[in-house]
Structure 1
Amino acid sequence: MKDKERPFPCIPATIGFSTNQLRYGFVGDPRASSTIDEVAVLLSEYTQLSKQFGKFTSLIVFYETTQNLLETYCVEQYEQLFWEHLSGISRKDREEWPNHIPVDPHNPIWEFCYNGEQYFIYCATPSHQKRQSRYFDYLMLAITPRWVLQEFNKSKTYAKKIKSQVRKRLKNYDFIDIHPDLNSYGKNDNYEWRQYFLRDDETTLSKCPFQRFLSKILE
């Protein structure tokens, strides 16, 4: 995040880091069901306080990534863990899903919600190699409130300029072309869930694994 010669592509994230607006949480092994509870507690606390931290805030969650995980897990296995956690966290939500957000992830307006707040989710893993913008030494989530992104996009001219710079940085940062799923929220051809976890190539899941409502019905 401090590298000036090879800057991290997400400019808002670097601003949040440099201005101390990011908040951090540390949780257990992602394979343990109890870890989902830990993340849910962190997100609940963050949701209540986030607007005190600044307009570039995000919650950064670091998982305990054991040597066994580092040596054996591939990108697709981390992807499965990610969706299991997102579904599990959502099932811990005590608030109703916001009325203005569709429940179907295959609707362009859908995005992950928790405690009545809309969030963009970013996942990085130690198995990503070519897509360095999604690499981290440990399994990690960056959870950003939609109101942060709305604030950032208030000026269309400024937002367009920054997005162009972000894409330029991505081309220099990654060892692979920009993933075709990267798009803008609200566009008819955009699906937010596809951007949450980008694989180390250009492939993507055909169907969103998010299971909050089906699981609640079955329970």
Structure 2
Amino acid sequence: MNEPGIQSLMDQETLDRRVRTGAAPEWVADHWHSFREGVLGERNGTSFPCFFGAESVRDGDPLYTAVPSMSDADALLTLRDRILEYLDVYEDHSGRASLVTFFKPPAEPLSEREYHRTLWHVLQTLHLHDPDPWPDSIPTDPDDPHWEFCLGGEPMFPTCRAPFYEQRKSRYCPIGLEITFQPRALFESLSVTADTEAGQRARDIIQGRLEEYDGVCPHADLGDWGVEGDREWPQYMLSEDDARAPSTCPITITRTHPKPAARLP
């Protein structure tokens, strides 16, 4: 961790220092400033809806990496390696350490449809080159309420910010694609899963803040893992315009291991 280069796994102090000293590229600095201001600032007189996320950034808990391309195979395989490294160290680093990934913005602006395609290309690539088999406890069908993305044998919740959001500013990043990976074990350690009283209370508070922060009703796709009628995959990148978002999950999951043509670490 904290090795030289923007593709390393960095703690928040190291990322901030590299940005302040000019050791990070301008696009990484722009991402960091946008992320920090978005999570720690206010909108419509309301703090960022996810108070767990805001507190963790305020306390310096998250880990970070930067990805110089949204499509280059080597860049995405390096991201895979950073996620695996993160999974090895995050519990010792902090009980609230999510992994925030900043992607280099494209040369030309992308549409909402293109950002959805990009997200699922990234996740599909990670899956196809996963060094571990898909967990037996997680179904392979994204239309199952107990499905969620997995890597390195760990179920996780990737959530995105992107430039195309006009109404849902809690998901808006003016720079480019940003994915925050949060292992399910992190939610369980905080006792904020849907099957706990604390989890339901947190959900109610966050949804109330969302409406005040965004100025619109919480998205219809927001829900809880394992709850009948709710699905995880549409929540990874919430739609702004339903016509520009996929109607079925674009990822193909296989239990075959190792996968054909996989480049394993």
Same fold (TM over 0.5): yes
Q: Please tell me whether the aligned partners of residues 116 and 246 of structure 2 are also in contact (alpha carbons under 8 angstroms).
A: no
Equivalent position of 2:22 in the other structure: none
Report the CA distance between 1:32 and its aligned residue. 2.3
Q: Please tell me whether the aligned partners of residues 180 and 202 of structure 1 are also in contact (alpha carbons under 8 angstroms).
A: no
Q: Is residue 136 of structure 1 aligned with residue 173 of structure 2?
A: yes
Equivalent position of 1:19 in the other structure: 59
Report the CA distance between 1:217 and its aligned residue. 6.8
One-letter amino acid of the structure 1 residue matched with residue 154 of structure 2:
E
TM-score by length of 2: 0.75
Q: CA RMSD in A?
A: 2.1
- Cα distance in structure 1, aligned partners of 2:68 and 2:203: 34
- Cα distance in structure 2, aligned partners of 1:146 and 1:57: 12
Q: Please tell me whether the aligned partners of residues 167 and 240 of structure 2 are also in contact (alpha carbons under 8 angstroms).
A: yes
Report the CA distance between 1:186 and its aligned residue. 0.8
1:145-198 alpha-carbon deviations (Å, 9 max, x no partner): 101111233683332222111011110121432111100111011111111110
Q: How many residues align?
A: 216
One-letter amino acid of the structure 1 residue matched with residue 225 of structure 2:
Y
TM-score by length of 1: 0.90
**Does the residue aligned with 1:62 lie in a helix, a strand or coil?**
strand
**Does the residue aligned with 1:147 lie in a helix, a strand or coil?**
helix
Q: In 2 relative to 1, CA 73–154 (structure 1 residues): closer, same or farther, beyond 3 Å? A: closer
1:64-114 alpha-carbon deviations (Å, 9 max, x no partner): 104x23xx3111111100000000011111111111111111111011111
One-letter amino acid of the structure 2 residue matched with residue 210 of structure 1:
I
Q: In 2 relative to 1, CA 184–207 (structure 1 residues): closer, same or farther, beyond 3 Å? A: same
Q: Please tell me whether the aligned partners of residues 84 and 152 of structure 2 are also in contact (alpha carbons under 8 angstroms).
A: yes
Q: Is residue 110 of structure 1 aligned with residue 143 of structure 2?
A: no
- Cα distance in structure 2, aligned partners of 1:99 and 1:212: 12
- Cα distance in structure 2, aligned partners of 1:23 and 1:168: 28
Equivalent position of 1:62 in the other structure: 102
Computing the radius of gyration over CA atoms, which structure comes out larger, 1 or 2?
2
**Which 10-residue stretch deviates more, 171-180 or 205-214?**
205-214
Q: Please tell me whether the aligned partners of residues 148 and 155 of structure 2 are also in contact (alpha carbons under 8 angstroms).
A: yes
One-letter amino acid of the structure 2 residue matched with residue 200 of structure 1:
E
User: Which of the residues 98, 123, 128 maps onto 1:86?
Assistant: 123
Unmatched 5+ stretches in structure 2: 1-38
**Does the residue aligned with 2:64 lie in a helix, a strand or coil?**
strand
Structure 1 residue ranges (4+ consecutive) displaced by more than 6 angstroms after TM superposition? 214-218
Q: Is residue 150 of structure 1 aligned with residue 188 of structure 2?
A: yes
- Cα distance in structure 2, aligned partners of 1:157 and 1:213: 34
Equivalent position of 2:88 in the other structure: 48
User: Which of the residues 205, 222, 247 maps onto 1:206?
Assistant: 247
Q: Please tell me whether the aligned partners of residues 67 and 75 of structure 2 are also in contact (alpha carbons under 8 angstroms).
A: yes
